[in-house]
Amino acid sequence: MTQRARVTVNAAHDLGVLDRLWASLGYDEINWTYTPQGRRTLQTIGAFAETPYHVRPHNIFTSGTGLGLPHWGSGNVYHEDADGTPYYDFTIADLTYDAIVGAGHHPLVELGFTPLALVPDHAKTDFRYEGSPSLYSEYEAGWWSYPPKDYDRFAGLVAALVEHALERYGADEVQHWLWELWNEPDITYWRGTPEQYYDLYDVTTKAIRDVYPDAKVGGPAVTGGGDDFLRGFLQACADSDLPVDFVSFHTKGAHFTPWRTYGPIGAPAPVQQSPSTEKMLREIDTALTVVDEFPQYAGKPVIVDECDASVPAHWGIYDNANFAYRNTEYYPVFQAQLMKKILELNERHTAKVREATTWSFSMEGERYFEGTRSFVTASGIEKPLMNAYRAFAHLGDRRIDAVTTGAVDALASRTADKVAILVWRHTDDQYAAEPAAAPVDLAIEGLDPGRWTLQHFRIDRDHSNSHTVWQALGSPQDPTAEEFARITARQGLERFCDDTPIDVEQSFSLPLELPLPALSLVVLTKSR
């Protein structure tokens, strides 16, 4: 028999500001930002978000035609005329940032990668590449990752983008933007030395600040294994008194082995594997410890601007069946667990994570429930993951005490007239699902006496879950209009029961039953 769990919330015990860690997303495919589905996805999130999200696409400086492809894109800004004089084309940049800003969000501008005209000559001989009709050219395959051959021209490109952003959007908007050099320079995204990166950071931040002195600059956006690079970067910045307004690094919860399998469509995973919150938390803990070594930066906000359950984003269940969790209720519950545990990590460090970016957005041209790391699947159908972020949006600005016993966890908050509580069951094993519900006693103390309204929302197999509806319809890859309507009717955050008025003296108790995995959002609103 499943042990009875208990959650005790003290609405009068204020724990301070609840950081909106989740208010950030990113993706590789910059050119899908402004497709109809991309725009709708940004607008959907903007409509329920309680605060603007930072949005971080790759490839703003990468050369190309603007055709979006999985794990690739091009902002195509930099060009040189026949005399070698630089000029700039902001067509794609405008489409991208118009879509982000127009949906109520702010860009985190990742300044990368090397434009074709700035690829150093040695890259063209050093980089080994054999052409094939199914592969990119040498540039797409790797030339873009070499340090630019002319740092002054790269600085001019950066300055031009900042100046253009100020002219187009105004300082009232751009004051919220973040400017970050490159992505994961500790691995093959950067085929140069750490010292070359430090030098490029120097000229880049100067170029930004010369145009906009109030700009927020930072980096180095290293991987979960990039602690030595992170330490070297912070030391170089400290030695040269370079500006660092935020520190960034990444973490991933799994790299399935074998990463990709080739077999019959729908074949099971050769080895069952799952994402690990524990791995992610270890990597974040270690990186925060590095930042803490530098008192001048330990108080700066930390952004884990790729904070993901597994890599890569564009592979799915047909590559490896372990990616199935991205379609299911497991993923939103995983995200709730991760955000709560990052908040707990913050309590142990001077450096604090302020944003934990899900590298999830929207994939064009995929099959229904392909299993990519995305908020939506084909035809813009929202996956259960979206509902985690809808639930987060209900949380108030102040965190309050929540003590748990048994196999549940919780995160509680309040505003002047609302108490919102997330309660969930999670384990780092997507195959450990238990349809039998576990009993949970939720007790809320320290409430103001009077009339309150109780709302209860649920994410599980049977609620807030377009995927299970689609499965019940036979997993159609060309849904009829009626089937599509039935799927989308169930894609949002669903009430578990009708809203209920209750009279409270000082406390309130609510029995819950949570299958594994599942998340309940309980909201109490004070009547006026």
Catalytically active residues, by annotation: 184
Contact 100, 165 (CB under 8 A): no
- Judged by phi (left if over 0) then psi (alpha if -120 to 50, else beta), residue 256 lies in beta
**Total Cβ atoms within 10 A of residue 76:** 24
Contact 243, 214 (CB under 8 A): no
Please report, to the nearest 10 degrees, the dihedral formed by the alpha carbons of residues 376, 42, 458, 253 taken in order. 70
d(CA 492, CA 383): 9
Residue where the block lists tokens 């991987």:
223
Contact 526, 452 (CB under 8 A): yes
Q: What are the backbone angles phi and psi of residue 524, rounded to the nearest 5°?
A: -115, 125
Closest to 220 in 3D by CA, of 251, 188, 250: 250
Q: Which of 273-302 are b and which e, b meaning 16 or more Cβ less than 10 Å from the residue's Cβ?
A: bbbbbebbbebbeebbebbeebeebbebbb
364's CB contacts (< 8 A; 6+ apart) are 29, 32, 35, 37, 68
Helical segments of 146-294, H only = 151-169, 171-174, 194-211, 227-240, 277-292
Beta bridge partners of 524: 419, 454
d(CA 93, CA 213): 22
Residue where the block lists tokens 């509806």:
469
The full 3-state SS of 131-166, as one line of letters, equals: CCCCCCCHHHHCHHHCCCCCHHHHHHHHHHHHHHHH
Beta bridge partners of 500: 454
**Total Cβ atoms within 10 A of residue 479:** 20
Q: What's the token pair of residue 100?
A: 């982000």
**Total Cβ atoms within 10 A of residue 140:** 17
d(CA 423, CA 408): 7
Contact 360, 338 (CB under 8 A): no
